[in-house]
A and B are shown apart, each in its own frame.
Chain A
Amino acid sequence: EVQLVESGGGLVQPGGSLRLSCAASGFSFGNYVMSWVRQAPGKGLEWVSAISGGGGPTYYADSVKGRFTISRDNSKNTLFLQMNTLSAEDTAVYFCAKLLFVWSFFDNWGQGTLVTVSS
């Protein structure tokens, strides 16, 4: 059974940084594209970033480009999202999700971790 478990969320001040993790199990992690999708309180889903299976090409939404960095450690089956220069607009639940290939559908999702940016 595929399992994705996010962690690392919390309260951070504007301008601060946070690193999210997503522990994966139940599938060959290194063979799949992984992604982060966020959902602001009471709002819809927003794709944030994606990374290929080997950690090579990475992709970002314009809203986070230059501030967020996606990475992965295939030896530990873990996906990361380093978030810098955070603002209130980044407040959201962050989901990690598995894709079959880049720009395909998200076939498995984690439960999400809440990031709150506030002073």
Chain B
Amino acid sequence: QSVLTQPSSVSGAPGQRVTISCTGSRSNIGAGYDVHWYQQLPRTAPKLLIFGNTNRPSGVPDRFSGSKSGTSASLAITGLQAEDEADYYCQSYDSSLSGSVFGGGTKLTVL
């Protein structure tokens, strides 16, 4: 059971928009700690996708965007492409656990 809750899977057709939610609590996201997102392509290491709730590292397409409100955060992907098919993870800090925490991961399928 992950501290941050994500849907296990989402899907969308090429060109469509999908969102992935990340729900936390008052000891992590709700306490104001930043949320970060990672993309993990099959059989590869995770890659930073969004940091500080809304910021994209250099090289990440602007099709990817992040938002945060209250005890939740979301990752939106617009103009879905086949290459976006991957697992996506949110991450934050939890003051009760005194450590970094991840969501359980969401598998994105491009139909």
Binding site for B on A (CB under 8 A): 35, 37, 44-47, 50, 59-62, 95, 103-112
Contact = CB atoms under 8 A, between A and B. Distances in A.
Contact of B48 (A35, A44, A103, A106): A106
Contacts of A108: 48
B36 A105 contact: yes
Interface in B55-95: 57, 89, 91, 93
B57 A107 contact: yes
Interface size class of B (residues with CB under 8 A): 20 to 34
Contact of A103 (B38, B93, B105): B93
Contacts of B40: 45
A47 B75 CA distance: 21
23 contacts: A35-B100, A44-B104, A45-B40, A45-B89, A45-B91, A47-B99, A47-B101, A50-B99, A50-B100, A59-B99, A60-B99, A61-B99, A95-B45, A95-B46, A103-B100, A104-B51, A105-B36, A105-B48, A105-B51, A106-B36, A106-B46, A106-B91, A111-B45
A109 B102 contact: no
Contact of A45 (B33, B46, B99): B46
B2 A44 contact: yes
A110 B34 contact: no
Given A47-B99, A47-B101, A105 B46 contact: no
A34 B94 CA distance: 18
Nearest to B95: A103
> Which 10 A-B residue pairs are closest in the complex by CB-CB distance?
A105-B36, A47-B100, A44-B105, A109-B45, A103-B93, A105-B51, A45-B102, A44-B104, A107-B48, A111-B45
Contacts of B26: none
A109 B47 contact: yes
Contacts of B102: 44-47
A4 to B, nearest CB: 9
Contacts of B103: 44
A59 B91 contact: no
